[in-house]
Amino acid sequence: MMMIERDMMMNSPKFKVATLATMLTLALTGCSGDDGKDGAPGTPGEDGKPGLIIADSAKSLAVTVDQILVADESKLTFTVRNEEDLPVVGLDKFGFILSGLEQGNNGNADAWKLLSSEGCPASKYSKCGTLEDNKDGTYSYLFDKDVTTEEAFTLADDKTLRLVVRVGGEQVGSSEVPYINDVHDFRLDGNAVAYTKNVTTVENCAGCHDDIAMHGGKYTEVETCVACHADNKVGDDALFTNLAHKVHVGVIAAPVGGCDNCHMATEGATDFANWKQVPTAESCSTCHADVDFETGENHLGGPRADNSACAVCHSESMTEMNHLSTYKGQTSRRENVHLTVTDAKMVAAPQAQENIDAGLDTASTGYVQLTVDIRDQDGQSMNQQLDKADFFYYSEFYINWGGHDMAMERGKILRVFTNKELYPGYVDKPIVLNYENGETTFEIGPFEMNDTFDGDLSASYGMVTPRIWFCMDETGTNIQSCSETASVWGQGAAGYNWLHFFDDQGMLNERPRRQVVTNEKCGSCHGTTTRESDGMVQMTLNCRSCHPVTKTDSEFFGTTCASGSLDKDGDGSLDEQVMLKNLMPRGERDWTTASNAGEECLACHNANNPPTQVIRDAHTKQGDADYVEQLTMSHPDHKVWIHAMHANNRANQGGEGWVRNVEYSADLANCVKCHDGDSFDTKYLVGRKPLALDLDYMDTYDGLDPANGKDTSGNKRYAVDAKADAYVSPTAAVCLSCHGKRAPEAGEDRRQVRKDVVGHMKQNGAQFGVTEGEYTGEESCAVCHDLGNLKTVHGLN
């Protein structure tokens, strides 16, 4: 029958038929959208043909396009089957998109042109042609539009066409099946396509998004988006290139300029390199909005009437260098210097004379001895004593002890070289114990070996991670003394930092704690550069949103480690501390080291470290009904901080226009999006240390220095001043960080903590804001919310 129809149609030059035998099975879960309404629910399907076994249920659907005719009356036949390969009959919700790819010339990029977009049942957004259910799992559709009349595209045998068939979104048996888009690229003459255009794919998008279901969940593939958001269908703002760049550039968590975060070389992304191979005014202007290509304003090449000469100046290699060098280009620089920790161990008593003379040693303290070698790009020792090397702008080591929860608030920070202000307990003089054969050994302490909740920590373990910036000459190839470097930031480079574990015998070869996150997990959204087999997550620009360079930016001095505020109106009272520096991710040199695991933060971001940021007297105040819970959700403990920040639930998030708002791109219930394996199991929180709070922190804050109400000692309070006076149960704190708030109600300028959630937690043993003597640690969360339950309620089964 197929061949008969083919032979009949081929008699007319206007009719071309292509037979397609590929089947693409997709089962993507749709999400909510705001464009287009579904038609009324269809009636139950009729029985299939006699003797044919048909599906009475379906969890997913698969489409096979059997035949397509493109003509003044275009039609196709296709088969729909369920996950058990049984034919599905009775469906009446479909969408059909037909587009053609026009090859670019004169410097223009290849471009999809929409021939027709139709849907059944018909709606105000689309017409429905003639749909026929053949009662055997096959369907026929006759397009409403004569696609041969589309002026933007001329049909030809060798051109690539794209057909998208949308099915799903209706009941099959007792459940509704999700939408899928079945995408077919083909030629009129039936031969394999010679070219197509896929600059990115769903697989690329899945790094940040769980899915990209748009328009009420109907459209689930990037290939669908580009086929419909074509320049002959939509305006410039809705053209897919412009639309995609607008919602991502400067908004997502990866650096601007990191085009390869979306345009990666994955299977199917045949044209992933278009961004650097085919420069056009249309695509470039979506980011370079200050450039007027017609007039030549802000364009070194002057005015351009078309794209014919773009690639003459903007070669592939130059375009890649200009975009990626801002965050990838430091890889070669970083290779010049490695601070390699060769040994670390905890000792019971100090050996350095300065530590002995300090008289701080007791029967319950210990000291960390840290040995470091400065090595070159070939891994060879430079044979220099670290504290005497003059090419470090800063070389710092973050150290803590005490196992999973660590024991000290912010640990100990060995600042060999630093750009921080001197502050006792925060910036201490480095004490060298020994230097031999290029290795410098420092002794840091004392570390308290008795913990309020964990008891004796002598048999525990510690962690150490470096933070490095070294100076180079203007060429970026030679190490140079920082005193001779014209621009420390412009010429310098951030060294790699590695996370090491150690005990009282030395460094540990195996990890003593579970792997919670990985570089690949974090880097899928935040941008990952590759150094051999090790991915380096570019997190710095995100960290800087909370940790600005206060020393050189006094206007925003009232932040984080130096907590305080401003009196901008001069009335003698601190302003409400809503003014927070807006540091969106952008293409700028990495200001600090590249993370290797995403968990070095534990050295400071742990349960012992009470929240002390300026948010506490601006967005949550003593006396507020939910004061303790707000502080809990704003806690710097890593396991709370990360959850609450991504959920937009910290006390300084959630307000309209607030610069620290986070619009997370995936489903917050998808724990494995960030977690490695089953590391989110509640069993890991049982018996863990409670989170410390300092409830009267602002009562003891000294406010402004009357003589100078800005960058003075009277207008800042270091976070190390915090004194724990209350505690919160760890499991409750973690769960509250995601589940503690709902969308703002009318008239509220911040979201309130949900009393029902807190009440449920308290009923099951959780405690909020209790004293040390009152804390029992008797949470029973894991009894019901075990791993199986978590996977079920979070949809991870």
Average pLDDT estimate for 708-724? 55
- Taking only the tens place, the pLDDT of each residue in 681-703 is 999 999 999 999 988 876 655 54
SS3 state of residue 477: coil
Average pLDDT estimate for 494-502? 86
d(CA 359, CA 700): 29
Whether the predicted pLDDT of 296 surpasses 90: yes
Beta carbons within 10 angstroms of residue 240's beta carbon: 18
Burial class (CB in 10 A: 0-12, 13-18, 19+), 125: exposed
Each domain of the chain, given as residue ranges in start order, spans 2-195+205-233, 339-513, 519-797
Q: Report the candidate in 491, 451, 443 with the shortest Cα–Cα distance to residue 345.
A: 443
Structure confidence at residue 743 (pLDDT) = 73
> Which element (helix H / strand E) includes 222?
helix 222-228
Whether the predicted pLDDT of 564 surpasses 60: no
Structure confidence at residue 577 (pLDDT) = 41
d(CA 727, CA 451): 14
- Supply 282's token pair: 């249309």
Structure confidence at residue 346 (pLDDT) = 98
Whether the predicted pLDDT of 377 surpasses 70: yes
Structure confidence at residue 80 (pLDDT) = 98
Q: Between 565 and 332, where is the model more confident?
A: 332
Structure confidence at residue 425 (pLDDT) = 62
Backbone angles phi, psi at 676, to 5 degrees: -85, 115
- CA dist list (Å): 115 to 78, 179, 227, 662: 19, 22, 9, 38
Among residues of the chain, what percentage have pLDDT more than 90? 56
Calculate ∠ Cα 692-694-699, nearest 5°: 180
Structure confidence at residue 474 (pLDDT) = 84
Average pLDDT estimate for 190-211? 90
Q: Report which residue type is found at 550.
A: T
- Supply 611's token pair: 């929240």
- Taking only the tens place, the pLDDT of each residue in 26-83 is 222 333 334 445 544 444 445 556 778 999 999 999 999 999 999 999 999 999 999 9
Structure confidence at residue 257 (pLDDT) = 76
SS3 state of residue 748: coil
- Taking only the tens place, the pLDDT of each residue in 734-748 is 999 999 998 777 666
Whether the predicted pLDDT of 286 surpasses 80: yes
Q: Between 527 and 452, where is the model more confident?
A: 452
Structure confidence at residue 532 (pLDDT) = 44
Average pLDDT estimate for 275-292? 90
Of the listed ranges 62-76, 114-128, 176-190, 572-586, the one predicted with least confidence? 572-586
d(CA 753, CA 738): 11
Burial class (CB in 10 A: 0-12, 13-18, 19+), 733: buried
Structure confidence at residue 6 (pLDDT) = 30
Burial class (CB in 10 A: 0-12, 13-18, 19+), 538: buried
What rounded mean pLDDT belongs to the chain? 82
Backbone angles phi, psi at 710, to 5 degrees: -130, -110
Tell me the Cα Rg of the chain: 31
In contact, 614 and 559? CB cutoff 8 Å: yes
Structure confidence at residue 590 (pLDDT) = 47
d(CA 668, CA 396): 35
* Cross-strand partners of 708: 705
Average pLDDT estimate for 651-663? 76
Structure confidence at residue 326 (pLDDT) = 58
Beta carbons within 10 angstroms of residue 247's beta carbon: 11
SS3 state of residue 471: coil
What confidence category does residue 418 fall into, taking pLDDT thresholds of 50, 70 and 90?
Answer: confident
HEC profile of 343-402: EEEEECCCCCHHHHHHCCCCCCEEEEEEEEEEECCCCCECCCCHHHCCCEEEEEEEEEEC
Structure confidence at residue 424 (pLDDT) = 63
- CA dist list (Å): 208 to 225, 464, 756: 18, 30, 31
- CA dist list (Å): 334 to 337, 590, 736: 6, 11, 40
**Is beta strand 130-133 parallel, antiparallel or unpaired with respect to 75-82?**
unpaired
What confidence category does residue 538 fall into, taking pLDDT thresholds of 50, 70 and 90?
Answer: low
Query: Whole-model pTM?
Result: 0.82
Structure confidence at residue 517 (pLDDT) = 87
Beta carbons within 10 angstroms of residue 423's beta carbon: 15
Q: Report the candidate in 163, 145, 158 with the shortest Cα–Cα distance to residue 228.
A: 163
d(CA 511, CA 163): 51
- Taking only the tens place, the pLDDT of each residue in 317-353 is 888 877 876 555 566 788 889 999 999 999 999 999 9
